[in-house]
Amino acid sequence: MSTKASLLLQKQLAHLKKHPIEGFSAGLIDESNIYEWQIMIMGPSETPYEGGIFYATLTFTPEYPDKPPKMKFTSEMWHPNVYKEGEVCISILHEGEDAYGYEKANERWTPVHTVESILISVISMLSSPNDESPANIDAAKEWRSQREVFNKKVQRIVRKSQDA
């Protein structure tokens, strides 16, 4: 039985296949499960991630688009807004009110977001980390105060991603 979520996800997948966006590609991990997507992101040019090929999963719930998906890098990633286990932490993937008042309501999840808008936000995150609200405190500290060390770690990850 098709739900609102599965129909919307099928439509978004078809749109991305017909109109690919530079910088990423998306597809289903298993054709029988519309809720689990594999994402491939090219490291944005003029960033430490340039030349990298990074894989991630997007996991949707049947409540999509009312609830955001979860995104997790399956490739190694060193970034202030990515937990050490790979989960992406950006405003667009957070639902509801921010209990700490850090994120404005218009920066958080709303049902108008699409797979495309999520991935564009993730590419933007790679280009310009938010080190004020880090998921990976060690990466954020390096980003702020030891940029050369940070960049060397990322370059190693980029080289590794090219061999995968």
Which positions are annotated as active-site residues?
89
What is the DSSP secondary-structure string of the chain? ---HHHHHHHHHHHHHHHS--TTEEEEESSTT-TTEEEEEEEPPTTSTTTT-EEEEEEE--TTTTTS--EEEESS----TTB-TTSBB--GGG--S--TTS-S-GGGS--TT--HHHHHHHHHHHHHS--TTS-SSHHHHHHHHH-HHHHHHHHHHHHHHHHH-
Q: What are phi and psi of 36, to 5 degrees?
A: -120, 115
